Amino acid sequence: MILPPFSRTRTAVLRSNLHRLSLSSVSRRCFRSGHPAPARVAMPRPRRVPAAGAGGTEADGREGETTPSILDDAGGGEVVGPEVLRELRERWELASVLNFLSVFEPVIGNEFKLSAEEIEGGLTRPNSSIAQLHIKLLKGIRPISKALDGSDAWVTVLCKKLDPWWQWVAEGNIPLTLANGKEISQYKDLDPVGRLLLLKALCELRAIQDDAVSYINNALKDGTHISCFRKEKLASHGNGTSYWYDGNATGGYRLYKAVCIPKLKGTNRDERCVPLPSRMFRWETLATNLDEFSEVVVRK
């Protein structure tokens, strides 16, 4: 079983062809399912979305509707509630986003210097920091939209970028789609996990852009170990429980635990196995700061 926090896209890239780093979406799907990928497959063409512009940019496609400002920090600085924070930290997608920002920092930059806690806060209550992070990632995906000017239009651009690629970079239904400008207020109404899933998918899409692929390719040619891009577990038990350690000086360091959920078997031939959900493990964040790391050491 493949466990996070590393990106599925990066895993497929590294396994399908370490020399050419082929990014076939079909190969990624075959890898996830455990079946061998065809030798050469063309990248599937995404569905078209409206309002595409010329000259390498695209229009925002909004109808000029007045919407709440996500970039307005009024009321910011609120402490994230423990229940909401626990829910976010029980999602492996959060660890994957933080891992992506760390691995591709040389490509996307770190001028915002957001900590993991600040990203959690922005996912809980959208603010200018989380908006600027999305804008930075969106500007790395061509065609570059003219609407990425610091306004709330980045939410519209996000929907347009993710919609045609969602089935290749994420699972389940997309939490937010174009709604004639109403998607901006709808983004604010999403729960934190929904906003996390959108950011995770955006990171996956950013990871298959030419500059990101070239960065991995060149680094591997220069002798960089593959574990720098494909995260390896820190330790594991025989029962399937594994531990992961990840982070950097900007985002902070974290310790995670993935507990494998055993597969249930039927008692006889006529009894079908109970279907398992898509998540076959339980994800936990064990430590996010020095005190919590110390507690883990004491418990062990």
- Each residue of 181-217: pLDDT tens digit? 999 999 999 999 999 999 999 999 999 999 999 999 9
Query: Domain ranges in the chain?
Result: 47-55+67-221, 233-264+274-299
**What are the C-alpha distances in Å from 223 to residues 157, 219, 248?**
37, 6, 21
Task: Write the pLDDT tens digit of every residue in 145-187.
Answer: 988 987 899 999 999 999 999 999 999 999 999 999 999 999 9
Read off the tokens for 235.
């330790």
- 140 pLDDT above the threshold of 80: yes
Tell me if 260 sits within 8 A of 279, measured CB to CB.
no
**What are the C-alpha distances in Å from 290 to residues 9, 103, 122, 138, 225?**
32, 22, 23, 34, 28
pTM above threshold 0.85:
no
Tell me if 170 sits within 8 A of 197, measured CB to CB.
yes
Task: Write the pLDDT tens digit of every residue in 15-38.
Answer: 543 434 333 333 333 333 333 333
**What is the radius of gyration, based on Cα positions, of the chain?**
20
- 274 pLDDT above the threshold of 90: no
Helices (H), 53-189: 82-89, 92-103, 105-108, 116-124, 128-138, 154-162, 166-169, 183-189
Q: What angle do CA 273, 274, 280 make, to 5 degrees?
A: 110
Tell me if 288 sits within 8 A of 296, measured CB to CB.
no
